[in-house]
């Protein structure tokens, strides 16, 4: 995956629509379309292999609609251009993070200190429960 090619592909193939955003803005909030809806068809993304495309489908399944497009909406700021930039940055970072392969975790044995800590906490919990019992006076 080439980062520059991915960036260009996102800029070229994404469809942007604007709508009125809720929230702050006073009287201006009802006049200006500041909310950004960014749609990017997965098939149009260049610079990724079919295997990477499959990984995107699984990792970004919450963002992908029925047509196979990644959908993001942003209304964080009061300005359309700022929201537009945020949307492009978000979609690019989500794609890059989804394509990153995580290393497998190496299993390690618990340390001596962690075992002792666990036993100490068990003893404390046991003592608390023992003190709850009714005391019989003879």
Report domain extents, the chain. Answer: 3-99
The confidence score (pLDDT) of residue 1 equals 59
Q: Are 43 and 9 spatial neighbours (Cβ–Cβ below 8 Å)?
A: no
3-99 sits in which CATH class?
alpha beta
Whether the model pTM is above 0.85? no
Kindly state the DSSP code that residue 66 receives in the 8-state scheme: T
Mean pLDDT score of the chain: 88
> Which residues in the chain land under pLDDT 70?
1, 25, 28-29
The confidence score (pLDDT) of residue 43 equals 85
Q: What is the percent of the chain where pLDDT is above 90?
A: 44
The confidence score (pLDDT) of residue 31 equals 78
Cβ count near 76 (within 10 Å): 15
**What are the structure tokens assigned to 42, written together?**
């997965």
């Amino acid at each position: 995956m080439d980062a520059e090619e991915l960036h260009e592909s996102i800029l070229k193939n994404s469809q942007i629509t604007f709508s009125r955003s809720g929230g702050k803005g006073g009287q201006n909030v009802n006049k200006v379309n500041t909310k950004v809806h960014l749609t990017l068809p997965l098939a149009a993304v260049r610079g990724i292999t079919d295997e990477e495309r499959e990984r995107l489908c699984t990792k970004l399944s919450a963002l992908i609609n029925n047509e196979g497009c990644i959908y993001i909406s942003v209304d964080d700021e009061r300005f359309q251009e700022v929201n537009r930039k945020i949307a492009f940055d978000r979609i690019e970072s989500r794609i890059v993070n989804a394509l990153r392969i995580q290393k497998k975790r190496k299993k390690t044995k618990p340390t001596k200190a962690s075992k002792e800590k666990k036993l100490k906490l068990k003893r404390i919990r046991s003592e608390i429960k023992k003190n709850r019992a009714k005391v019989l006076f003879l």
